[in-house]
Amino acid sequence: MPLSRRDFTARTALAGAGVALTGTVGALATAPGALAADEPGPGAADAAEGHGRPHAPGYGPLLPDPAGLLALPAGFSYRVITHSGVTTLDSGESTPSNHDGTAAFEGARGVTLLVNNHELKGPRANWTHPVPLTEGLVYDPAASGGCTVVEVRRGGEVAEWVGVAGTSTNCAGGATPWGTWLTCEETEDLAGKNGMTKDHGYVFEVDPHDRRANRDPRPAKAFGRYAHEAVVIDPRQGHAYLTEDASGPNGLLYRWTPPEGFRHGRGRLRTLAADAGVLAAAKCFDKAGQFVDDLSRATRTGTVYGVDWVEVTDRDARTLSVRKQFAAGAVTRARKLEGMWWADGGAYFVSSYAREESPGAAHDGQVWFYDPRRRTIRLVVLIGVNADPDAEGGYDGPDNITVSPYGGLVIAEDGNGLQHLLGATESGRVYPLARNELNIGTPEKPEYSEFTGVCFSPDGRTLYANIQEPGIMLAITGPWRRSPR
């Protein structure tokens, strides 16, 4: 049922007071160089009355790493967990390259299990370290991507094995409430294109706890075939929310509604028919009831849009990409819809930037919060255009995100120039947590790979993150504390 204007006005009156985010992210404002927030953050009134300035967020300046890998604040340290071309799987083959989306799960006897995507597109011959074609775990033997499962034991010992192989361009994904990982293919290649022997552009389930459950991989075709980025599951209603990283035209935010009587659980997605449930794309409108064609139209944090859902006609996109099946005015688009994280009863999701391909204002990053109860989205982070990405202090291109157990968000930067892990406090002050110092370019023209796969260990003591190229998984520890607002 579409939202009425009266319903939307009532709901936005509540949402305008700030999304209720217990212990995590409040009404986030802006990064350095960003557009101004709607309202001053907590502590501003005290400062104005002469009671002193709020404490600076974060953990202090980043210190150069003698090893040339990761700059961290004083008191923090890191450990390399996997390194493509250096570490090996339990089969003796090399850790695959191009680490991307990751999630951490609690295993038995103090073990942490991490499922790690490998964003490898096209034929296997294109890559030095593709995901090995482990017997029984292969979808398409021509494809180079997939996932590995990394086991970090209490004593520090690490083991790694293949979760799924023969998939393509495994970018982000999402953890499920029942303890599995959904890996997303960011491609639309059909069989016969780019050397593929099967259709790609699907979501696959990987169980980190049971290797046998991953045998005979089957895509969850009910979620549609398009350039998938990330997915989260609403544990209460069972809806799946999915982002699409695509352009020409810009991608869409999707919702999949399960069929009546369906109950989620390990391995159940693969049992669904390809047309099971309803796949729909978001259509947003403002407080005046006016249609919003692209999320780049929002220029202030705190902006709230109502959301309707428009059903997809051909979710398997046999002749026309899903995002191209909608006429102008039918759905709301955004450039580079990227990472997602479920928390606080809703879904955080990212639009990395907007430029000439978007009809609204240019920006270098948005984070939105979708509230399924109110059927609204609220802009909680807006990063203005970073004029000098090679200089410390400005940020651009948020990608993977996670909600921190210490408050706020942790954001993986995938922009130009310097690449950081960023923290965002509950009032929106943004600070650097780490900086990639591994130069994969030249001394004259340095280049730094993006960060990916940010997630905390189940006990909250370790932040895991990846440097995508060449493919390095890092475990970061230190004096974590509740961040000031």
pLDDT at 156: 86
**Nearby residues of 197 by Cβ (< 8 Å), 6 or more positions away:** 140, 141, 142, 191
Give the pLDDT confidence score for residue 56 in this predicted structure: 73
- What is d(CA 163, CA 457) in angstroms, rounded to the nearest whole number? 19
Query: What is the spatial distance between Cα 231 and Cα 339, in angstroms, rounded to a whole number?
Result: 8
φ/ψ of 124, rounded to 5, equals: -65, -30
pLDDT of residue 448: 96
Question: Which residue positions in the chain have pLDDT lower than 70?
Answer: 1-55, 427-428, 483-485
Q: CA geometry: angle at 33 spanning 31 and 38, to 5°?
A: 65
Torsion, CA 352, CA 358, CA 360, CA 364, rounded to 10: 20
**How far is the C-alpha of 35 from the C-alpha of 48, rounded, in Å?**
21
CA distance 381 to 397: 12
Tokens 């599951």 sit on residue = 233
Q: Which long-range contacts (CB under 8 A, 24 or more apart) does 289-294 make?
A: 289/5, 289/8, 291/329, 291/332, 292/332, 293/328, 293/329, 293/332, 293/333, 293/359, 294/250, 294/332, 294/333, 294/334, 294/335, 294/354, 294/358, 294/359, 294/360
pLDDT of residue 239: 98
What is the Cα–Cα distance from 311 to 191, expressed in whole angstroms? 26
Task: Please give the helix or strand (H or E) that residue 305 lies within, else none.
Answer: strand 304-311
| Token pair of 336 as six digits | 């580079």
Inter-residue long-range contacts of 68-73, CB under 8 Å, 24+ positions, other chains counted: 68/437, 68/438, 68/439, 69/436, 69/437, 69/438, 69/467, 69/472, 70/434, 70/435, 70/436, 70/437, 70/438, 70/474, 70/476, 71/434, 71/435, 71/437, 72/433, 72/434, 72/476, 72/478, 73/433, 73/478
Distances, alpha carbon 405 to alpha carbons 62, 66, 425, 459, in Å: 22, 30, 12, 9
Which of 423, 352, 454 shows the shortest CA–CA distance to 62? 423
Residue in the block written with tokens 């045998």: 215
- pLDDT computed for residue 485 by the predictor: 65
Q: How much is the pTM?
A: 0.90
- Cα dist from 389 to 29, 81, 98, 366, 398, whole Å: 20, 29, 23, 17, 13
Cα(212)–Cα(266) distance, rounded to whole angstroms?
12
378 contacts: CB under 8 Å, gap ≥ 6: 15, 19, 302, 303, 304, 368, 369, 371
State residue 3's pLDDT score: 52
| Look-up of token digits 């955004």 | 334
